[in-house]
């Protein structure tokens, strides 16, 4: 249950739902497996996975939720092949080409025919709501999946006034200054991975791995004589975790230090719910502390496109 990626959103109004009310609302959209002719299903599953039975788990002032999605896997190449067969058959039988509408109907029929035999892929997206910090944190490397999570929660509650964090000057400006001025915030240590990008949609991109980002070689790409800015940067925070921060303030590849895990080593594992609860308490405490420190480094505006 330790989060590996963080998409962070802020509530524009206080989150006032009680544990009882929230769990009741989640039951309106419980996950169920796809029917034989359905392409996908999306809903809430056990918050603690196989170790729990509740859709909601409350600990350390945070509500934990787990959104589960099932998708039927239909290879595009198979559909294309069968579609071509149907089009050729129609042309041979009626001596004419298939219309656009006929092709669309053929494709729909083929999909309907193949769905009962298709393999399924099931994926989970975890997240937690922290009313005290006024944030919701989603464990996903994909913004699309994070927004799907929000949309499902909004559907349950009827309203979910949230917003993303957007630095007024652009996160890339701040991250670039960290390298150029070599004045990192306290508790932050630059890692050996990053991505530099020139201005414009077609701007050149330089990806670095196992590279000293403070070297003259890298710094030459930045500043007055350089054309690039930092859009991703790896760093270590407070001897607690390492991660990669992107210019949209998403946090990827979070790895907690062994010293953090060791704090719960003495907790017995014969009751997994107790062990998971202790891990979640520890994780949320450190993640919330990190988020507060990380966001404090940027002058933030709000991006209201997610607001209800």
Global pTM exceeds 0.75: yes
Residues 188 and 201 in one domain: yes
Residues 110 and 147 in one domain: no
Q: Which portions of the chain are predicted below pLDDT 70?
A: 224-225, 301-308
Provide the token pair at 176: 């670039």
Final residue in a domain of this structure, among 142, 166, 190? 166
Supply φ then ψ for residue 135, to 5 degrees.
-135, 160
- Nearest CA-CA partner of 46 in 111, 112, 124: 124
Interatomic CA distance for residues 27 and 44, integer angstroms: 8
Residues 20 and 160 in one domain: yes
- Nearest CA-CA partner of 159 in 307, 24, 8, 9: 307
- Nearest-5° angle of CA 17, CA 142, CA 43? 45
Domains identified in the chain, total number:
3
Structural domain containing residue 218: 168-306
Those residues with Cβ within 8 angstroms of residue 272's Cβ, 6 or more apart along the chain or in another chain:
51
In a domain, 93, yes or no: yes
Final residue in a domain of this structure, among 150, 166, 182? 166
Q: What is the pLDDT of residue 45?
A: 97
Residues 202 and 222 in one domain: yes
Residues 64 and 191 in one domain: no
Residues 108 and 154 in one domain: no
Residues 271 and 153 in one domain: no
Rg, the chain, Cα only: 24
């Amino acid at each position: 249950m330790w989060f590996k990626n963080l998409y962070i959103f802020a509530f524009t109004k206080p989150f006032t739902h009680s544990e009882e009310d929230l769990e009741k609302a989640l039951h309106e959209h419980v996950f169920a497996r796809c029917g034989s002719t359905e392409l996908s299903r999306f809903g809430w599953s056990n918050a603690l996975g196989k170790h729990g039975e509740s859709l909601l788990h409350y600990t350390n002032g945070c509500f934990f939720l787990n959104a589960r999605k099932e998708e039927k896997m239909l290879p595009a190449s198979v559909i294309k092949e069968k579609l071509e067969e149907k089009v050729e058959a129609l042309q041979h039988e009626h001596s004419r080409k298939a219309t656009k509408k006929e092709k669309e109907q053929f494709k729909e029929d083929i999909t309907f025919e193949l769905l009962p035999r298709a393999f399924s892929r099931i994926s989970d997206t975890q997240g937690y709501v922290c009313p005290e910090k006024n944030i919701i944190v989603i464990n996903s490397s994909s913004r699309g999946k994070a927004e799907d999570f929000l949309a499902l929660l909004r559907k349950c509650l009827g309203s979910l006034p949230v917003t993303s964090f957007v630095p007024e000057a652009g996160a890339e400006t701040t991250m670039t200054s960290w390298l150029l001025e070599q004045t990192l915030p306290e508790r932050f240590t630059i890692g050996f991975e990053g991505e530099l990008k020139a201005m414009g949609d077609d701007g050149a991109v330089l990806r670095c791995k196992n590279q000293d980002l403070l070297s003259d070689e890298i710094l030459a790409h930045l500043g007055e004589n350089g054309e690039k800015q930092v859009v991703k940067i790896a760093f270590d925070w407070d001897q607690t975790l390492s991660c990669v921060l992107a210019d949209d303030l998403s946090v990827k590849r979070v790895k907690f230090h062994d010293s953090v895990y060791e704090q719960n080593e003495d907790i017995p594992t014969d009751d997994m719910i107790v062990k998971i609860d202790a891990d979640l308490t520890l994780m949320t405490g450190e993640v919330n502390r990190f988020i507060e420190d990380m966001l404090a480094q940027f002058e933030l505006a709000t991006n209201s496109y997610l607001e209800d």
